[in-house]
Chains A and B, each alone.
Chain A
Amino acid sequence: AAGVIQSPRHLIKEKRETATLKCYPIPRHDTVYWYQQGPGQDPQFLISFYEKMQSDKGSIPDRFSAQQFSDYHSELNMSSLELGDSALYFCASSSYKSTRNGYTFGSGTRLTVV
């Protein structure tokens, strides 16, 4: 069965550079969530989208932006990267019509800022 696909799996960037993370939800899932997990920390919610509209916003820095496209995939854009942005970034997807099927998480993108 298809799962949530995140790309790239690993990314190394220098300070002040820009990074774009991509998330491809499970087919027919219309909602996407982004989480950031720092080393030794539990995941922090960043932002979510439903039907290409932002549905909830968490602790996402102003340097980050995200959007959901017509094919429901989502991209997290991170600019002016800082060392503290080094983390594992998870994406999850779900279906509004089938919330009882739960949420599916991707394997994450590990971002290292040097």
Chain B
Amino acid sequence: SQELEQSPQSLIVQEGKNLTINCTSSKTLYGLYWYKQKYGEGLIFLMMLQKGGEEKSHEKITAKLDEKKQQSSLHITASQPSHAGIYLCGADIRNTGNQFYFGTGTSLTVIP
């Protein structure tokens, strides 16, 4: 089973539209990370959330960690073609030990 569930799996939006990607865990998240990846390239760190209710923004991308610290959402406002890529969430889930898990990723296509 997947420790981190991401939804949707893929997303196609028109340029200028808003969109939201979700990352959900059945366990408490200690440190939730959002990354962006273009094919063949390494992960690009976007932001990290640690506290329940925390919200961070970077340019037109906003990420939130819910109060229970089991779900995070990534929201892109007025999407642009440069936002296209695969978005991954990653998290430290301390159940049996320090292990870092990744979500399955969300593929975003922005149509000009």
Chain A residues within 8 Å of B, Cβ to Cβ: 31, 33, 35, 37, 39, 42-43, 45-46, 48, 50, 55-56, 58, 88, 90, 92, 94, 96, 99-105, 107-108
Beyond known contacts A31-B40, A102-B105, A105-B101: 12 more, CB 8 A cutoff: A39-B98, A42-B31, A42-B90, A43-B43, A50-B40, A88-B99, A94-B39, A99-B39, A102-B104, A103-B102, A104-B104, A108-B99
- Say whether chain A's binding surface is mostly helix, strand, loop, or mixed: strand
Task: Tell me which residues across on chain A come within 8 A of B106, comparing CB atoms.
Answer: 102
> Is B48 on the interface with A (CB-CB < 8 A)?
yes
Q: How far does the alpha carbon of A80 sit from the alpha carbon of B43 in the complex, in Å?
A: 27
User: Given A33-B42, A45-B42, is A102 in contact with B86 using a C-beta cutoff of 8 Å?
Assistant: yes
Write the chain A residue with the least CB distance to B85. Answer: A99
Task: Establish whether residues A42 and B48, one from each chain, have CB atoms under 8 Å apart when the complex forms.
Answer: yes
Chain B residues within 8 Å of A, Cβ to Cβ: 6, 9-10, 31, 33, 37, 39-43, 45, 48, 86, 88, 90, 98-102, 104-107
Task: Establish whether residues A48 and B42, one from each chain, have CB atoms under 8 Å apart when the complex forms.
Answer: yes
Instruction: Give min CB distance, B110 to chain A, whole Å.
Output: 14
Instruction: Give min CB distance, A27 to chain B, whole Å.
Output: 17
Interface hub of A43, A101, A102 (most chain B Cβ within 10 A): A102
Write the chain A residue with the least CB distance to B10. Answer: A100
10 of the cross-chain contacts (CB-CB < 8 Å) are: A39-B98, A42-B100, A48-B40, A48-B42, A50-B40, A58-B42, A90-B102, A102-B9, A102-B104, A108-B99
6 nearest interchain CB pairs? A45-B42, A102-B105, A55-B40, A100-B107, A100-B10, A102-B104
